């Protein structure tokens, strides 16, 4: 059998069980072959994430990466070899999982194609640098025994948390490891206790545990190697059982709350800001909303950026909207200008609550988006980047939107208390108000038309569903060319948007994909442990996991 020589153990060996031949094959990969292998593992790991949820691929990828880190000790410069292997894994992992961001740069290619290197090279490069840098710091403590599972898991999850908090602008907590578990199913329910970060930590440990079934130690019993995998199986068996029981005690029933109409005109993003499309977009939304009658839902929701201009500066459109709303109320994503005059004028990406008289007395309530999308809605480090011609992808405020004050619960007569989450805000755990300000439901409006029809819209919807689980709150979600519908406090769809019936709503213009769904708001659940404790349990778990270093064999 091929041998493996550890830098810290002069004896050549590769032992454990039936996995030893595969382990020794990985050990034989050096140089560019090792980097290519790690990149392949990073790409394959995405089959475990939304919209696929084939979780064994995550176990394969993380276990393979640990074996490759074992083999890095055979390189002339082990720590540097480990750095580049993790960087190769991370670059492919983030590139494949987030490649859909590049679609936004193709909406207006004449202006933005020159910057497509940002989502295809700069973003995965930056995120992989965070992951590789973290592993580089802990690699001096790498060991041959099962304890390396703890070193790897703590470093991997700390890096994931850190990239979710980058730059003080909210980071990018997209596709956390815990999202390999489909929202609304049994294991996902545990996010109500420890949130997506806590579930992600447990997921990384469990998915990496097969790696310790074999190692380079000359000694070590099969039981000591199998123990982490057995414990992981027991823990996730208990999590699944608890989640299944939780869902079993809450069978799917028809909600009895207020009736809401969710409307998306399905306008392709490249069409939206063409001058000739402005009036057809307004007319299509009004046709889909329908007249105000005794039987129509009293609450209507349109997506983020539903209309392509500042509505309160577009009097004919505003009057048409309020006339159609009549006795109902409309929650609409619409930009607004704060008129301070001259260079102090500020633009906001907002949600407004309108009624039939809002053309006279203004909106009943406003919410200004707080977490803005870097480069989409504002340019970070603008003093430098604007000098090379970089501006925001949206055209309504080329200088960028201003951030709002933060999460809030909106109280308007006729609408149950709700908390808005505009687009990007739905990917941030713990953003919704809690305590005395806890709302009765969440409203997520978004433009998913920026990101094509591949991974992006499904991934975005999955993250929104996790927010519902964490908070124990129902959510109405209206996504322009995305997944629209009503979600209960367990993360399950209770209603899904369907193509608008041409007999009722007329025919879509070519390339448009309108959807309409009438759905009742499910009841809110009791405040969850996560809604009370936020990420406190995650940090306790992260610290407690290190105690495993005193239990698991290192050599």
Contact 437, 409 (CB under 8 A): yes
Count of beta carbons in the 10 Å neighbourhood of residue 245: 12
Q: Is 423 known to be catalytic?
A: yes
Name the nearest CA neighbour of 273 among 107, 517, 103. Answer: 107
Q: What are phi and psi of 77, to 5 degrees?
A: -125, 85
C-alpha distance across the termini of the chain, in Å: 22
DSSP single-letter state for residue 415: E
Q: How far apart are CA 471 and CA 429, in angstroms?
A: 9
Q: CA-to-CA distance for 23 and 29, rounded, in angstroms?
A: 10
Residue burial 333-364, b: 16+ Cβ < 10 Å; e: rest: bbbbeeeeeeeeeebbbbbbbbbbebbeeebb
Report the relative pairing of strands 329-338 and 299-301 from DSSP bridges: parallel
For β-strands 493-496 and 485-487, DSSP reports them as antiparallel
Q: Kindly give the interhelix angle for 148-163 and 536-545, rounded to the nearest 10 degrees.
A: 150
What phi, psi does 515 have (nearest 5°)? -140, 150
Question: Which residue is catalytic, options 160, 304, 470, 471?
Answer: 304
CB 307 within 8 A of CB 447: no
* Active site (annotated) includes residue 143: no
Note every long-range contact of 159-163, with CB atoms under 8 Å and residues 24 or more positions apart, other chains counting.
159/130, 159/131, 159/133, 159/134, 159/135, 160/131, 160/200, 161/197, 161/538, 162/130, 162/134, 163/127, 163/130, 163/131
Q: Which two tokens stand for residue 497?
A: 């948007």
- Cβ neighbour number for residue 369 with a 10 Å cutoff: 25
Q: How far apart are CA 433 and CA 53, in angstroms?
A: 29
Using CB atoms within 10 A of its CB, is residue 439 exposed (0-12), middle (13-18) or buried (19+)?
A: buried
DSSP one-letter string for 520-533 = EPPPPPPPPHHHHH
What length is written for the chain? Answer: 555
- What whole-number distance in Å separates Cα of residue 500 and Cα of residue 513? 8
Q: E strands along 28-99, which residues?
A: none
Catalytic residues: 304, 369, 423
């Amino acid at each position: 059998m091929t041998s493996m020589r550890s830098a810290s153990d002069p004896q050549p060996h590769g032992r454990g069980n039936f996995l030893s031949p595969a382990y020794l094959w990985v050990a034989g990969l050096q140089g560019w072959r090792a980097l290519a292998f790690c990149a392949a593992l990073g790409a394959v790991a995405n089959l475990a994430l939304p919209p696929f949820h084939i979780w064994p691929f995550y176990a394969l990828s993380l276990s393979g990466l640990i074996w490759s880190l074992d083999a890095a000790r055979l390189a002339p410069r082990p720590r540097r070899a480990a750095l580049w292997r993790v960087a190769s894994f991370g670059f492919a992992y983030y590139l494949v999982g987030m490649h859909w961001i590049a679609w936004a740069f193709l909406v207006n290619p004449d202006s933005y194609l020159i910057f497509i290197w940002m989502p295809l090279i700069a973003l995965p490069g930056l995120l992989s640098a965070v992951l590789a840098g973290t592993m580089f710091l802990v690699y001096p403590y790498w060991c041959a025994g099962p304890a390396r599972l703890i070193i790897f898991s703590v470093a991997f999850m700390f890096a994931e948390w850190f990239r979710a908090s980058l730059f003080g602008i909210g980071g990018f907590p997209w596709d956390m490891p815990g999202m390999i578990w489909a929202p609304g199913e049994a294991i996902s329910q545990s996010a109500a206790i420890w949130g997506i970060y806590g579930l992600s930590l447990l997921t990384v440990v469990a998915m990496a545990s097969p790696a310790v079934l074999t190692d380079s130690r000359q000694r070590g019993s099969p039981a000591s190697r199998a123990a982490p995998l057995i414990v992981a199986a027991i823990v996730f068996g208990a999590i699944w059982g608890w989640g299944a029981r939780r869902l079993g005690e809450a069978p799917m029933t028809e909600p009895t709350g207020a009736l809401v109409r969710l409307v998306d005109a399905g306008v392709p993003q490249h069409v939206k800001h063409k001058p000739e499309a402005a009036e057809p977009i307004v007319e299509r939304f009004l046709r889909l909303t329908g007249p105000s009658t005794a039987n129509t839902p009293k609450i209507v929701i349109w997506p983020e950026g539903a209309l392509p201009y500042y509505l309160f500066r577009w009097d004919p459109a505003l009057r048409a909207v309020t006339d159609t709303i009549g006795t109902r109320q409309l929650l609409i994503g619409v930009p607004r200008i704060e008129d301070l005059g001259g260079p102090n004028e500020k633009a906001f990406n907002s949600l407004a609550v309108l009624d039939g008289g809002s053309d006279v007395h203004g909106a009943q309530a406003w919410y200004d988006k707080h977490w803005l999308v870097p480069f989409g809605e504002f340019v970070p480090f603008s003093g430098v980047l604007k000098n090379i011609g970089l501006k925001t992808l949206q055209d309504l405020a080329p200088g960028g939107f201003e951030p709002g004050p933060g999460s809030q619960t909106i109280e308007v007569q006729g609408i149950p208390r709700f908390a808005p989450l505009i687009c990007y805000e739905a990917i941030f755990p713990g953003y919704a108000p809690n305590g005395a300000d806890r709302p009765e439901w969440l409203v997520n409006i978004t433009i998913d038309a920026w990101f094509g029809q591949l991974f992006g819209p499904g991934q975005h919807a999955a993250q929104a569903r996790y927010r519902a689980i964490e908070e124990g709150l129902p959510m109405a979600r209206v996504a322009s060319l995305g997944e629209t519908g009503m979600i209960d406090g367990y993360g399950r769809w209770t209603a899904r948007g369907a193509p608008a019936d041409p007999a009722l709503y007329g025919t879509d213009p070519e390339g448009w994909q309108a959807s309409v769904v009438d759905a009742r708001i499910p009841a809110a659940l009791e405040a969850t442990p996560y809604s009370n404790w936020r990420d406190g349990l995650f940090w306790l778990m992260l610290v407690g996991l290190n105690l495993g270093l005193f239990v698991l064999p290192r050599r």
